[in-house]
Structures are given as C-alpha cells and as structure tokens.
Amino acid sequence: MVAGGRGSWGRPTRDMVLVQQKWQQSPCFPRSQFTLSVNFLKQIQGQRDYPVWKDELYLKFHRGCYTTHSDQKQANRRSEQLLYSAEFFATIATLYGGQSDQGELTQLWQRILFNQFHDILPGTSIPEVFVDANQDWAIVAEQAQAILTNSLKVIAHGLNLPCDGEDLRSTFVVFNDRNWSRSALIELPGSWSSLSTDGGSARGITQIIQTRETIKTLVLAEQVPGCGYRTLNLTKIDAPPTPMAELEQHLPVLENEFLRVEIDPQSGEIKSMVDRGHHREVLTPGLPQLLAYQDQGQYWDAWNIDPNYREHCLGAPQIISWSWQERGPLRQRLRVIKQFQSSHLTQDYILETHRPYLEIKTDIDWQETHVLLQAHIHLNFAVTTASYEIPYGVIDRDPTNPDQWEVPALHWASVTDGHHGFTLLNDGKYGHSVGPKQINLSLLRSPTWPDPHSDRGRHQFSYFLYPHLGPWQQNSVVHLGHELQRSLSWVKLQPSSNHDNKSSARSSHGQFFNVGVEGSSLILTALKRSEDRPNQWVIRCYETYGQETQLNFASPFGLQLGDRLNILEQAIEGQNSIVKPWEIANWHLNPSRGEDLI
C-alpha cells in the first residue's frame, strides 16, 4: 500500500512507521517492509499474473456523504444542468450573430468545480464554508440563466420564424437541448387557449392553473426535435381555473392511460399503484413509504450513517390534510400535508397525461436532529438485479451484498426480477438502498458536527416512481433521467423578429444539428467552444447501453464532423464515427467549406 498523509507532503508519518513495526511483531498480519514506490513498481514490472479487482472500489464507510447537506448536492445538480443548457444555446446563438460568452461560461464552470471539493459537495465542512459555497451557487444560477435567456432571444430572432402578431395571439418557440425529440409540459404566464403547433393543426388542449399570486397555463409541447425547436401558437383568453369546490368532490385517485394511483386518505401514502398497460399492481399495500430513523452517525457525524439505524425507527410522518390542487386534461396534482415532530412536510402527487411515472414533489421544513428520512418503495416482486446510474455509465450491484447497504447513484436506480421492473428517479438525491422487495431513497439527514445546523431548513425536491416490464435498457430510463433534470426552454416570439435573415432556417420547426438516430444509445453531454481553437466547436457524447454504436451527424448549417478528440480535445487516430461501449467520445465540428463558425 502507499503510505502518506495529507499534511506530511505524501511521506509516511511517525505513527505510520510505528504501526508497521507493530504489524511485523504480530502473527495476524502479512510480512511488510517500507520501500520507495518506484522500486516496488520496478520489482513487479516483469510479472504477468496480477491480481485483478473488476468492480468499483466501494468504501464501506462515509455513507452519509451521499445525503448530508442536501442543499449543496441539489445546487450542484441544478448548476450543472443549467450551465449545460446555457453553454449549448450560447454556442448555437453565435450562428445568428450572438457574442461568445465562453469566458464567462468558463468562470462559471470553475465555480462549480471548486465547490465539488471533497468537503463541500459531501456536506462535511464547517458552517463558514457553506456561506461562501452558497454565494457561488447563486452567482452561477443568476449568470447562467442570463446567458441562457439572452441566447434564446438571439436564436429566436435569427430563425426568422412566422410570428402571429394579432392582438390576442402570440407565438412561442420551444427549444430542446437534448439530442432526441421530447414531449413535455411547459408553464406559460397568463391564460391561453386554442393551441396549434407549427403544422397549424388546432389542439385546443391547455390547462389553466392558479395560485394565490399567479395564473399560468399548462401546454403540452409535443415532439420537439432533438437539438432543435418547435413553435406553438396560442390565443389569450380570460378563463378562470376549475373551482376548488368542484375539485374537492373527487376521490384521491390519479389516473392516466399508463397508471392508476390511489392515495390512502388516512395516511396520505400510496394505497395502490396499478400499471394499466400491463394489468398489474406495482406495490405491496399497507407498508409505510416515508420513515424516519434515529441516526447518530457514530464518531464521524456528517460522514457516517449509523449502521444500525434500521433498529431505531421513529415512525412515519402523520397526515394533517389532503386536497386536490389540479385535476385537468394535462396534469393532476393531489396535495398531502404531514408533520413529523418539529418538521412540516408537503407532498404533491403529480400525474401528467403523457407520462408513465408518478412524481412526488416534496417541500419540507426540516427541523430534526440526528434523524434520517427515507422514502421506501415496497414492490410486489423479488429483486434479483439492481442497476444504478453513475457518471457516464451504469453499474450493477449485488442486491444481497450486506456491505453495500447504502450506495450512490445519479439520476436513477432500477431493479428487476427479469420480468417486472421498477425505476426510482430523482432531481438531486444520491443515497440509495435495495431490499428483497423494495428500493429506497435517502432524503435528508441532520448531523451536528462539523456543522451544527446541517440540513435544517427548507428543502424542495422531487422523486419519481416508474414501473415497467423488463430491465432499464428496454424502457428509455437513461433518457428519462436526463429529461427530468430540466424542462424544455421557451421564449415568446416578438413580431419585430419577423425579418429577412440569410442564415435563417426559415422553418417553424427543425434541428440545428442531429446526433445519432431516435432511440440511439448516445447521449449528448456538451456542445461548446474548443478550448484551443476558439473558432471551432466541440461536441461530447457517451454511450449508455454498453454496446458499440455509430455516430450519425447531420446539420442544415453545413457543420461537419471533424477530428476525433480525447477528453483534452487533442486529435486522436481511429475510426472517427465508431463509439465503443460506455465510451466518452469527442469531436471537433468544422464548417463545410473551411470557414469559421462565426
């Protein structure tokens, strides 16, 4: 092993030397000696039978770092997603005369990277550190949103789209920065109706939603092309939302063509979830789905979850009330208000008309100390395989391994018995666990050292329940995980933007470029300026299913695929368009006739 400490310039400390000497005197330890790393490497250079560990290096410790200081983890997730979108559209905007924001974007990326330091993102710093970190997150959010908004306006102006300029009618441009077509609900301020898409076909399906402060309209933007846009034409109306008295007459049941979800009015938890497409009950009824546990964390309070926390269950939050908030043709929302000791919880069960999953949108004022809050999904099948999204990949973990009782994942974790399947997705949580017939998500902790007030306060997040048949590969789980991080972007088209522009696509829908084919296993993760060749672009993708594939690239702007690059954006040899299983692949984008992109 390599011996050395953070404060000893990499050299063994006196304590390490003394420990090694004690080991030498004990029959319980193998023979050891100190030597230079270079000498050891030379000694084994000629050997061929190296021991191989073909798995992740799972640390059986510090499992609380997946959950502690949830605010930092969520800010990191949202900042990464927002900055991806801002950089994507800022790059596209240069085609229409937009100014390059690369210097500012680089500074924002550097702020995010700094906050991924090993005691900030895990939530294990002293309070003063998080004061600075929160300022960084706020700067990233404000400046990245400004870049995104300005870029979308530049693009909408440059597209030279037909704009409905009548008094009560408006045109909206919906943008998609993912490399596959998406359908999603968007919220527009005000009351709108008489929806038609760019093809001119009247849909007439909108849903008015009202809060105490605002009136908004839900619109389903269908099949917005990947790396592209689509227009929506709407008419301004003066229409009130559905009266609350009418909503209250309905039973606590949410239903669309995919799911039927019944909420227990006595507990506020899911009583039944029926997969209508496959005619099966998804959950085991009668078991609590939100539980709190005493969690002392041992001697590394912020770092560790108590290994025996399951023996110290504190019970479930108690329901105070439930009520309908929305029940329309596009979205249903049922609200449950609960309390646990000094903490107040609001959970909205949300079912969208076009989606095969249930969203549980959660708003918590968390005021507990040394308490772990978990969501438990009790399934009606025995889990045999558990898969988890990790950076640029997926890993299978043995669900029966007793050491891995809390494991990390990014956007989702998925389980199956070979026939049935279930995926639990999230928008900012990381700690997961799997039992014989359940999958769990750690929501909040509340340690007191080194930050005495860690996690206390308000938290807003969502997790998503997605039943399906078969494993994750057959159910677009990777794509869905990315979609749930950010909705589609949109701008209202101004009549003055209807002008002649020679570079305009002149179509009310289209793509700036195409990466892969629909259903491809390639995920676009960056469109950016080249670091060393600022007049060229770089695209980055990764393969998500563990199978070799090929990049199919096309662009109406004459962009052509250039050199294949490594992660440092240096040209490399090899088959230019072939992407190996799980590979992170990069390319330059070149103009068709050798001119600069701007």
Q: Above 70 in pLDDT, residue 518?
A: no
Q: What distance in Å separates the CA atoms of residue 442 and residue 292, rounded to the nearest whole number?
A: 10
pTM: 0.92
Q: What distance in Å separates the CA atoms of residue 278 and residue 261, rounded to the nearest whole number?
A: 14
With 0-12 / 13-18 / 19 or more C-beta atoms within 10 angstroms meaning exposed / middle / buried, residue 15 is exposed
Mean pLDDT confidence for 200-220: 81
Structure tokens at 153: 């306006």
Q: Above 60 in pLDDT, residue 526?
A: yes
Q: What distance in Å separates the CA atoms of residue 429 and residue 431, rounded to the nearest whole number?
A: 6
Q: What distance in Å separates the CA atoms of residue 393 and residue 285, rounded to the nearest whole number?
A: 33
Report pLDDT for 594.
43
Q: What distance in Å separates the CA atoms of residue 330 and residue 241, rounded to the nearest whole number?
A: 13
* pLDDT: which is higher, 30 or 460: 460
Q: How many other CB atoms are found less than 10 A from the CB of residue 39?
A: 8
Report pLDDT for 163.
76
Q: What distance in Å separates the CA atoms of residue 109 and residue 292, rounded to the nearest whole number?
A: 36
598 and 592 Cβ atoms separated by less than 8 Å: no
Least confident of 194-208, 216-230, 257-271, 372-386: 194-208
Q: Which of 289, 459, 292 is nearest to 369 (CA)?
A: 292
Q: Above 60 in pLDDT, residue 18?
A: yes
Report pLDDT for 508.
65
Q: What distance in Å separates the CA atoms of residue 371 and residue 367, rounded to the nearest whole number?
A: 10
Report pLDDT for 291.
99
User: Mean pLDDT highest for which of 57-71, 555-569, 584-598?
Assistant: 57-71
Report pLDDT for 8.
46
Q: Above 90 in pLDDT, residue 105?
A: yes
34 pLDDT band, cuts 50/70/90, is confident
Q: Which of 415, 410, 403 is nearest to 425 (CA)?
A: 410
Q: Over the chain, what is the mean pLDDT?
A: 91
Strands 290-294 and 313-315: antiparallel
Q: Which of 360, 375, 474 is nearest to 421 (CA)?
A: 474
- Running DSSP on this structure, what letter comes out for residue 419? S
Q: What distance in Å separates the CA atoms of residue 416 and residue 423, rounded to the nearest whole number?
A: 9
> Rounded to the nearest 5°, which phi and psi values hold at 541?
-130, 165
Rounded to whole angstroms, what are the CA distances from 114 to 87, 127, 131, 456, 505?
19, 17, 14, 24, 39
Q: Which of 407, 402, 409 is nearest to 425 (CA)?
A: 409
Mean pLDDT confidence for 522-529: 96
361 and 348 Cβ atoms separated by less than 8 Å: yes
Mean pLDDT confidence for 488-497: 84
| Beta-bridge mates of residue 387 | 396, 414
Q: What distance in Å separates the CA atoms of residue 585 and residue 305, rounded to the nearest whole number?
A: 37
Structure tokens at 271: 């009583």
Q: 130-160: per-residue pLDDT in tens?
A: 999 999 999 999 999 999 999 999 999 999 8
241 pLDDT band, cuts 50/70/90, is low
Q: Which of 163, 228, 256 is nearest to 499 (CA)?
A: 163
Q: Above 80 in pLDDT, residue 274?
A: yes
Mean pLDDT confidence for 298-304: 91
Q: 324-335: per-residue pLDDT in tens?
A: 999 999 999 999
Q: Above 80 in pLDDT, residue 246?
A: no
Question: Reading across the β-sheet that carries 280-281, which strands appear in turn?
Answer: 253-255, 259-263, 270-275, 280-281
What domains can be seen in the chain, in order of their start residue?
Answer: 14-52 (no CATH), 64-158 (1.20.1270.50), 244-475 (2.70.98.30), 513-591 (2.60.40.2220)
Residue with tokens 């800010």: 75
Mean pLDDT confidence for 15-23: 88
CA angle, corner 578, sides to 577 and 580, nearest 5?
Answer: 145
86 and 145 Cβ atoms separated by less than 8 Å: yes
502 pLDDT band, cuts 50/70/90, is very low
Report pLDDT for 458.
98
Mean pLDDT confidence for 372-393: 98
Reduced DSSP (H G I as helix, E B as strand, rest coil) percent helix, strand, coil of the chain, to 5: 20, 35, 45
522 pLDDT band, cuts 50/70/90, is very high
Report pLDDT for 50.
83
User: SS3 of 482, please?
Assistant: helix
* % of the chain residues with pLDDT over 90: 73
289 and 282 Cβ atoms separated by less than 8 Å: no
Q: Which of 520, 513, 450 is nearest to 479 (CA)?
A: 520
Mean pLDDT confidence for 16-24: 88
Report pLDDT for 567.
95
Sequence-distant (6+) residues with CB within 8 A of 256 are 332, 351, 352, 353, 354, 355
- Running DSSP on this structure, what letter comes out for residue 555? -
Locate the DSSP E strands across 211-312: 215-224, 228-236, 253-255, 259-263, 270-275, 280-281, 290-294
Q: Above 50 in pLDDT, residue 480?
A: yes
Q: Which residues of 332-365 are buried (b: 16+ CB within 10 A; e: fewer)?
A: bbbbbbbebeebbbebbbbbbbebbbbbbbbbbe
